[in-house]
Structures are given as C-alpha cells and as structure tokens.
Amino acid sequence: MRRKILTLLVILPLFLSFGQTKGFAENQGEDEIELDNKDEEIIEHEKSYANLLGPQVFQTSALTSAAGTDEEGNPYMYFVMHGTPSALAVVDLNSNELKHTYTLSHSTSAWGLDVDEDGTVWVGGTTEGNVYSYNPNTEEFHDHGNKLTLPKDTAIQDLDAVNGIIFGSTAYGGSVFKYDSHQDELVNFGQVLYKKEFAKSVAYDQESDTLYIGVGSKADLVKFDLKTKKKTAFLPEEYKNDKYVRDIRIIGNEVYARMDPSNRLVVFDKETLKKVDEIELNSRTISLLSPNEDAIYYSKHNRLYKYDLNTNEHIDLEVPLLTGTELLTLDFVELDDENYPGYTLVGLLDNAGNVLKYNLETSYYEITKLELPPQPVTLYTMIHDEKRENIFINGYMSGGLAIYNTKTKQSVLHQNISQIESMTIMGDKLYIGAYPKSRVLELDLTKPWDVTNPREIMRLGDYGQERSTAITAVPKLNMVFVGTYPETSMGGGALAIYDLEKNKQEVYENYIYNQSLVSFLYYGDYIYGGTSIHANYQVNERGARFFRFRPDYPEEKEYIHLPLSASMITSIIADKEGTIWAMADGTLVSYNPDTKEIRTKPIFDLISGRFRNAKIIEGIDGNIYGTVEGRLFKVDRKTMEIEILMQEGAYELAQDSEGNLYFRNQADLWKYEIEQ
C-alpha cells in the first residue's frame, strides 16, 4: 500500500450536485467491472485519517458531437465525453478509430460544441465556463480559460464559432458573450431577458451581424442586433409553455428553432420574424442545408427523414435507427470509402457512441458503435447496506452503480443504469429512485445483474414527475413509498405507493401543495417526510414542511411544526432510542415523537440547491454524523455538542461495520478513519 502522510488537512475542490441535469439514454449491455481500490493515499487530520479510495464509477457517455475536416479533407468526429473531468475525443471517421483524447480540465460536462471554418473545434464547458479548442491541422489542444464573468453563471450552454470569434450562451445568468480568440478579448453582453436563467442556444448570423438566442425557462426566442444592441423577443405565445429553445439553425433567410420538451421545430422568416412553418420531429436538432440539394435532415419515431425545402415534402428514408434512439447531432462529411461516394450524413444516436452514416447519393447506411474512452464520473447518491458491509454509490448524470465492499476493498461496477436520486434497502432488495421520468426500480441483491434485474416497478413521468427524490419501504406491508420532485406538472410532488404483493400502484398528486417531497423515513407506526419549497422551477413562499402519516392512511398527514423556517428538509433518520433526526437547510433537528420535544443545532448558515445538500446517519458509536455543503460533522446525541471533522470536500455519507465513514468528493470515494 502506498502511504503518503501529510501534516495538514488537504482542502478538496468543491463540487455541489444541485440536480440541474439533463436526461441521458441508458447504456445497453451487461457490463460488470471489478475495481481494485487497495492503493490508498492517506491524509492525516488530527488523530484521524482521510483515505482516498479513488474513482468508483466510469462511464462511456458521449454528451454531444460535431464533425469536421482538416485542411487535407480528412474527416473527424469530435465527442464530448462526460466525466470528472470531461474529455474531448477525436475519432477518424474513415477508420472509426480513436485518434486523441484531451482532458477538459475544470469541466464535468460540456454542451457547447462547434467547428470553425478552418476545421478548429471549439468546446464550452462547465463548471467554470472554460473554452477549449483543438486544431486538427496542427493537432494542438488549448484551454483558453474561464469566460464566465457574471456571478450567477456556472456553465456554457451553447457555442457558435465564426472565423475564430466565439459566441457563447450561459446558465444560470442567462447571458451571452463574445470571445475573440485572435486578440484574446472577451465581451459579455449581459442577461438576454430579465429573469430568464438559461440562454440555452445561440446562433450567429454573419450577414446581419445578429445573434439569435433561445432562452428559458419558460421558452422565448430573441433577436439581438450587435450593431444597435437592440433585442427583440419574437416567440409566439403558443410556444411559451415549453422550457427552452434548445437549438437554433440559420438556413438561408429562415431561422429554425427546436422547442424543448415538445417535439416541434418552428421556422421563422429572418426579416419579419413571423412564423412560416412548423415541423414535428424527435431528433435533438436538424442538419444544416444539404450540400447537394435544398433539403434538411432530421429523425422522427426512430427513423431518418428528409425535408425538401422546395416542395415542403417530408420523406421517410426508410432508415431504422436503434430502438429508443433519435439523432442527437447531424453533420455532413466526405469519406474515403467506396460505399460512401460524395457527401455522407453522420450523426450521434445515443450517449453510448452509436453513430449513423447515411450516404446522400446511394442511400447506403450503417450504424456503428465507436469505442470511445470511458471517464470517471462525479459520484452522487450513496448508502450502506443493513450490515454496513457494502456501499452503493451512483454516478452523477451518466449514471452507473458501484458496489464497494468495505472488507475486500473492491468495487463491482454496473454501468447500465441511469442517475439515481434516492435508494433504500428492504431485506435482499435495493429500491432505486431513477432519473429521468421518475422511475422506481427493484434490484434483487441475491441474483445476477441482467436485463431483468433490476426491474422497473413504477414510472411516474406520466404524472409530470422527473425525479424520485424520497424513498422508503415498509416490510410489514410489503410496500414501497416514493416522493417526487416535479418538473412538468402544474402542482407539487407526488406520493406514490407500490404494493409488492399485488403489483399495484397508487399515486397521490400534489401531496404537499406546490412543494416537492425530498426525504422519507419509515419508523415505528409512521412515515416521516420532508419537503423542498422548489417545484416546477418555482419557489413556494411557505417554508418547507416536516410531516408524518401512517402507511395505511396516507391521506391523513400530520404536520410537525419546527421553530425555524427552511427551504428544504432532507435526510431523515431515527436513532436507537426512537428520536427522529433531520436536516432543515443547514440546521440539525431532533424530534422526540413521545414528548414532542424539538431541539435544533445550526451547522451551516447558507445552503444551496433544490433538493439535496445534506446527509446524516447514526454511527455505531451512538453519535450522529453528517455532511452539509461539504462539511463533515459529528454530534453528540444527548448534548448536541458538535465537532467539525472536515470543513470542506465531504458530500453524502455512509459507514462500515468498524465505524469508518465514507464520503464522496467529485469522482472520488474517501474513507475517514476515526481512531478507536
């Protein structure tokens, strides 16, 4: 074992997972990987050690792609690989071989990707807003640094590159900027529209020196004249219930705007800004104008389509895509392959790296899964099992579930599962609240992981729910109780109950009026719950609610009034003596169900996020341990005396049977040993 002893506590980089994420296609297959974690870097802290166990979840997840050529005409496809940090993968499209992988330092994902006229590819990242470039002619990769200047901005959402001038749009400041890479000069034009946090898409019209910007939420579309600085919002009212304008294309005298989440592409006249057409589609975007005809390409219902701009005819090209996939990107290239004469349409189908090639002349096509490089991903939700022998830990955004055995110090990684918002164990079953579509899964821990294990038992997306943020199980009733965070419904989160014996579900919509359900605990005769004031990107003026109900009478909820106001109540537990503990923002709360006594202990003044920022457990020594906003703490149950174990860098929490604590920081799992 490599042991590196330092005399000071290392302050770890701070990364908070606030749940602003986008949906991913789940990887197919049954990949199971064993990870050896025996090599530990140990950092001394007083009379304890924080041990770096390293990354646990690796995923091959391509967020987006773009195609281009070098000056000799060699075609390449560029992929942004999700990870901590992310990476730019360069693939030779003639051979389908990976040519280069470049680390996108300071970025855990990147959505902005565009290829300039000279073949240079530009990338805009998160979480510090760095801009990167790769020139295929010189094979030089360059990090141009952070281009976010507004306090609220944390991510670049989209890029448009024109002759070395980069236009970018941002969140959560909802601004646009211009970066001149020749002069290394940056100009931020400020927030596009008042109170619009997302500038989701941007397109530059060189002919009129104008930017077209898609904002949200709710959606709007803005024309920004860079000469006069005049802004004109012109999205018709009938489209403003969408969240965003996801993608913008300028083709001839028309502007094509892709609405999200509705499957509508709206076409506007560039001069009058009047709507001239609407197209139904499922692809994330459309192609630019075909190089040999007046047509554009898109996908719908898992098939490739061509839209003839002269006849307004939509032509089914009878090209079936992979089941459950649609085109995420579409570009045109020329390949050195006799099967692909002239121009070929290429596009990314899913996050797993499946790529479509469709020849415009012969209609010959292939779908190929490229061997893209896996990346370590930020860790997210984690719990220990009832024996405190295994720790289940999930990957942020691109998913994956690692099961770390605290005795063997090895992990088994299951990659084909999406992001997990909540987990609970009942006997030999792990119940999982999965994102997106607020799915609930059951994993039988006694059986092999395969296409039927885990199995889906509920899907609450039809009720406007996206995240299953609270989950608990009641063994004596053989039922699972789930609370949700809504994103598209009109009210608050839902309470969903699944009867495992009858295979039947019951759903109570808007269970706590206009609030989300973010924490559950079954103890004694009650289920205890906590809410968040955030729901549907709205903020409920009334503070978060602490409540309980009997599992067999969920309609009759009882509110427990706390002597404080909080935006969310998270991570509820019960100790061995039956006292209920919870985190109300940055304050630890103790509630005695018999005496109704409530005690509070402030730990952190200011908190962030919408439904996840704290985790508490009862240690085997009888103390309460927790994390909040990266701070690791210990609390005496009787005196509520608090001890800060780490000031920064600790998120989520689990414990093994020997009392060691485990937490996550970015892609790494850490073990905190308290001297016995």
Residue 25 belongs to a domain: no
pLDDT tens, position by position, 150-201: 999 999 999 999 999 999 999 999 999 999 999 999 999 999 999 999 999 9
Indicate whether 589 belongs to any domain. Answer: no
Answer yes or no: are the C-beta atoms of 580 and 574 closer than 8 Å: yes
What local confidence, expressed as pLDDT, does residue 269 receive?
98
79 versus 487: the higher-pLDDT residue is 79
226: which 2 tokens?
């860079």
Give pLDDT, residue 422. 98
Looking at residue 489, its pLDDT comes to 67
The mean per-residue pLDDT over the stretch 288-313 comes to 97
pLDDT above 60 (res 380): yes
Any idea what the CATH number is for the domain that residue 182 is in?
2.130.10.10
Is 1 inside any structural domain?
no
Q: 123 and 270: one domain? A: yes
Same domain, 278 and 324: no
Distance of CA 51 to the CA centre of its chain: 27
pLDDT of residue 612: 87
Mean pLDDT for the stretch of residues 308-315: 97
Q: pLDDT at position 3, please?
A: 30
Residue 597 lies in a domain: no
Same domain, 312 and 263: no
Which pLDDT value is given to residue 346? Answer: 98
216 close to 245: Cβ distance less than 8 angstroms: yes
Banded pLDDT at 567 (limits 50, 70, 90)? very high
More confident residue, 212 or 109: 212
Alpha carbons 537 and 269: distance in angstroms, whole number: 32
Beta strands in 82-197 (DSSP E): 86-92, 97-104, 107-115, 121-127, 130-135, 140-146, 155-162, 165-171, 175-180, 185-191
Q: What's residue 358's pLDDT?
A: 98
Q: Which of 373, 395, 418 is the last residue of a domain?
A: 373
Q: Is 556 inside any structural domain?
A: no
Flag whether 360 is in a domain.
yes
pLDDT given for residue 541 in this prediction: 86
* Structure tokens that stand for 175 in this block: 């601004």
Question: pLDDT exceeding 70 applies to what percent of the chain?
Answer: 92
Domain that holds residue 188: 62-300
Output the pLDDT for position 23: 31
Q: Is 447 in the same domain as 329?
A: no
Q: Name the amino acid, one letter, at 265.
A: L
In this prediction, residues 260-275 reach a mean pLDDT of 97
- pLDDT surpassing 90 at residue 307: yes
- 3-state per-residue secondary structure call for 389-436: CEEEEEECCCCCEEEEECCCCEEEEECCCCCEEEEEEECCEEEEEECC
Integer angstrom CA distances of residue 408 from 36, 37, 41: 9, 9, 17
Question: Do 322 and 347 have their domain in common?
Answer: yes
CA-to-CA separations, 674 to 408, 623, 625, in angstroms, rounded? 19, 12, 12
Residue type, 288: L
Question: Of 535, 553, 569, which residue constitutes the final position of a domain?
Answer: 535
Q: What is the mean pLDDT of residues 250-277?
A: 97
pLDDT at 40 exceeding the cut of 50: no
Mean pLDDT, residues 328-344 taken together: 97
Q: Residue 608, exposed/middle/buried by CB under 10 A (0-12, 13-18, 19+)?
A: exposed
Cα separation, 304 vs 308, whole angstroms: 13
What does the pLDDT average to over 395-422? 95
- Domain-embedded: residue 590: no
Mean pLDDT, residues 78-83 = 96
Whole-number pLDDT of residue 676: 64
Local structure of residue 450 (DSSP, 8 states) = B
pLDDT number for residue 46: 44
Looking at the structure, tell me whether residues 244 and 279 fall in a common domain.
yes
300, 325, 356: which is the final residue of a domain?
300
Same domain, 202 and 83: yes
Structurally, the chain folds into a number of domains equal to 3
Give pLDDT tens digits for 583-638: 999 999 999 999 999 999 999 988 888 888 999 999 999 999 999 999 999 999 99
- Mean pLDDT score of the chain: 92
Among 629, 632, 618, 614, which residue's Cα sits nearest to residue 568?
614
Average pLDDT rounded to a whole number, residues 550-577 = 96
**Of 161, 139, 142, 143, the residue nearest 66 (C-alpha):** 161
Is 436 within a domain? yes
Q: Are residues 347 and 256 in the same domain?
A: no
Clarify whether residues 285 and 349 are in a common domain: no
Contact assessment for residue 249 and residue 221, using Cβ atoms and an 8 Å cutoff = no
The pLDDT score that the predictor gives to residue 488 is 67
Give the model confidence (pLDDT) of 211-225 as tens digits: 999 999 899 999 999
Q: Which two tokens stand for residue 185?
A: 């000069």
Pairing of strands 62-69, 313-320: unpaired
In terms of pLDDT, which residue wins out, 573 or 5?
A: 573
Q: Return the DSSP state at 511.
A: S
Q: Is the pLDDT of residue 335 over 60?
A: yes
User: Does one domain contain both 291 and 306?
Assistant: no
Both 100 and 183 in a single domain? yes
CA distance 441 to 107: 30
The SS3 of residue 237 is: helix
Same domain, 230 and 349: no
* Residue 26: pLDDT over 70: no
